[in-house]
């Protein structure tokens, strides 16, 4: 009897090819489409599944997606934070509900079309995620806060492929495919600032230097993020960058670029897939503070209290934005991830 695998099936080329691979490997593939928006084109996705002779299951999670992902996205920007909705969605929507379905139907595995690898490591007696082959598109960062217990049954069929290889293989197999590049944030069709204007009223304030000198004014604080230079429109004797966004204090602190570089970051709510103490050489641990950011080696990880860690860096890292995700790696192994926070009030 074939082993069942529940596949997160969006109708895009990645989940389609992942399903195709699993089917060729002899699995009984059960594709599941999570309907995240009321106007989603379910028929289009169903037709894609039928190309593989697969019967699509549709689960309406639009309410859960709005409450868990969209509302938190809006709330974070209200507070002057920079959220990462994709990391949250993978943890609280996609992987969570795939695993719930797996248990319900007694399937052996779950799978997604992420460009990342997952392997079993006998020395730690667990499965861990690794960076994918495609360094331009590899997506292990977005899986950094998936619950560690959910890795046990997870398959990632695209880890050994590059994006362009998948596109070419689909064509070679005779499938006609118009593949649009996926949006950074799936629920925003245009500029995120225009989206936020529908939910957050203006909260005008001043651009200030750290000294308190006022340099200008703004209307919408969420139009600015830590590290931003473009769009400030403040003539000054040196280039200015956003250092802090403090909407409720009605100010955005700006300053020289060197003020953005930090020798330590504070991280909360870390989901450890592999604890630092289990790593033979902690000097080989690195962190990644944004999806496109280069990994930076750490000097030390110090646990403070209340689930908060202080991560000493070598060298300094540019513009760690509160609200963003800090992913931990041991060489190419994903160790887990947590949320970057401001150091104020952390306690030592």
DSSP 3-state helix, strand, coil percentages of the chain (rounded to 5)?
30, 30, 40
Question: What's the predicted TM-score (pTM) here?
Answer: 0.95
pLDDT digits (tens, 9 = 90+) for 181-222: 566 789 998 889 999 999 999 999 999 999 999 999 999 999
Q: State the average pLDDT over residues 275-298.
A: 94
Q: State the average pLDDT over residues 291-307.
A: 93
Q: Among residues 86, 89, 310, 326, which one is catalytic? A: 89
Q: CATH topology of 4-172 equal to that of 260-341?
A: no
In the chain, what are the domain boundaries? Answer: 4-172, 210-255, 260-341
Q: What is the pLDDT of residue 182?
A: 64
Cβ atoms 148, 272 nearer than 8 A: yes
Handedness of CA 68, 73, 78, 83 (dihedral sign): positive
Q: What is the pLDDT of residue 106?
A: 97
Q: State the average pLDDT over residues 316-320.
A: 94
Residue 41 confidence (pLDDT) above 80: yes
Element (H, E) at 273: none
Q: What is the pLDDT of residue 226?
A: 96
Q: What is the pLDDT of residue 76?
A: 97
Q: What is the pLDDT of residue 183?
A: 65
**Residue 186 known to be catalytic:** yes
What does the mean pLDDT of the chain come to? 94
3 state DSSP class of 283 = helix
Q: State the average pLDDT over residues 42-46.
A: 96
Q: Which of 302, 342, 336 is nearest to 321 (CA)?
A: 342
Q: What is the pLDDT of residue 190?
A: 84
**Residue 86 known to be catalytic:** no
pLDDT digits (tens, 9 = 90+) for 128-179: 999 999 888 899 999 999 999 999 999 999 999 999 999 999 999 998 887 6
Interhelix angle 13-24/163-172, nearest 10 degrees = 70
118 pLDDT band, cuts 50/70/90, is very high
Q: What is the pLDDT of residue 179?
A: 65
Residue 345 confidence (pLDDT) above 60: no
Q: Quote the CATH superfamily of domain 260-341.
A: Translation factors (2.40.30.10)
Q: What is the pLDDT of residue 177?
A: 80
Contacts for 151-154: CB closer than 8 Å, 24+ residues apart: 151/118, 151/126, 151/127, 151/273, 152/126, 152/127, 153/99, 153/102, 153/108, 153/109, 153/110, 154/95, 154/109, 154/110, 154/111, 154/112, 154/118, 154/127
Q: Among residues 86, 186, 310, 326, which one is catalytic? A: 186
CA distance 75 to 67: 11
Cis-peptide into 142, omega within 30 deg: no
Strand spans (E) along the chain: 4-8, 28-35, 57-60, 109-111, 116-121, 126-131, 154-155, 205-208, 214-218, 241-246, 251-255, 261-272, 285-288, 296-303, 308-318, 325-330, 333-341
Class of domain 4-172: alpha beta
Q: What percent of the chain has pLDDT over 70?
A: 97
Q: What is the pLDDT of residue 347?
A: 53
Structure tokens at 202: 């203006």
Query: Judging by DSSP bridges, how do beta strands 4-8 and 28-35 pair with one another?
Result: parallel
Cβ atoms 289, 320 nearer than 8 A: yes
């Amino acid at each position: 009897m074939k082993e069942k695998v529940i596949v997160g099936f969006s109708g895009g080329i990645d989940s389609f090819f992942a399903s195709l691979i699993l089917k060729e490997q002899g699995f009984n593939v059960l594709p599941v489409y999570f309907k995240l928006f009321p106007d989603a084109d379910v028929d289009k996705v169903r037709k894609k599944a039928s190309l593989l002779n697969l019967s699509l299951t549709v689960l309406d999670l639009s309410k859960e997606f709005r409450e868990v992902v969209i509302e938190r996205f809006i709330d974070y920007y209200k507070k002057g934070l920079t959220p990462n909705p994709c990391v949250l969605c993978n943890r609280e929507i996609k992987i969570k509900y795939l695993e719930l379905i797996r248990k319900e139907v007694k399937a052996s595995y779950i799978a997604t079309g992420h460009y990342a690898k997952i392997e079993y490591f006998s020395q730690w007696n667990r499965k861990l995620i690794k960076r994918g082959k495609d360094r331009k598109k590899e997506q292990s960062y977005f899986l950094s806060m998936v619950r560690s217990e959910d890795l046990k049954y997870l398959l990632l069929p695209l880890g050994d492929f590059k994006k362009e290889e998948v596109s070419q293989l689909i064509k070679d197999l005779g499938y006609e495919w118009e593949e649009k590049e996926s949006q950074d944030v799936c629920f925003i069709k245009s500029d995120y600032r225009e989206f936020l204007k529908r939910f957050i009223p203006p909260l005008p304030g001043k651009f200030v230097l750290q000294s308190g000198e006022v340099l200008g004014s703004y209307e919408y604080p969420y139009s600015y993020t830590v590290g931003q230079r473009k769009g400030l429109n403040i003539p000054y004797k040196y280039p200015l960058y956003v250092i802090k966004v403090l909407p409720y204090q009605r100010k955005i602190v700006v300053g020289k670029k060197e003020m953005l570089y930090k020798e330590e970051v504070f991280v909360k709510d870390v989901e450890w897939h592999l604890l630092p103490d289990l790593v033979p050489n902690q000097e080989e641990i690195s962190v990644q503070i944004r999806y496109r950011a280069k990994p930076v080696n750490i000097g030390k990880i110090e646990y403070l209290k209340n689930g908060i860690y202080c991560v000493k860096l070598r060298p300094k890292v540019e513009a760690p934005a509160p609200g963003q995700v800090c992913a931990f790696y041991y060489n190419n192994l994903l160790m887990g991830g947590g949320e970057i926070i401001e150091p104020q009030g952390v306690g030592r």
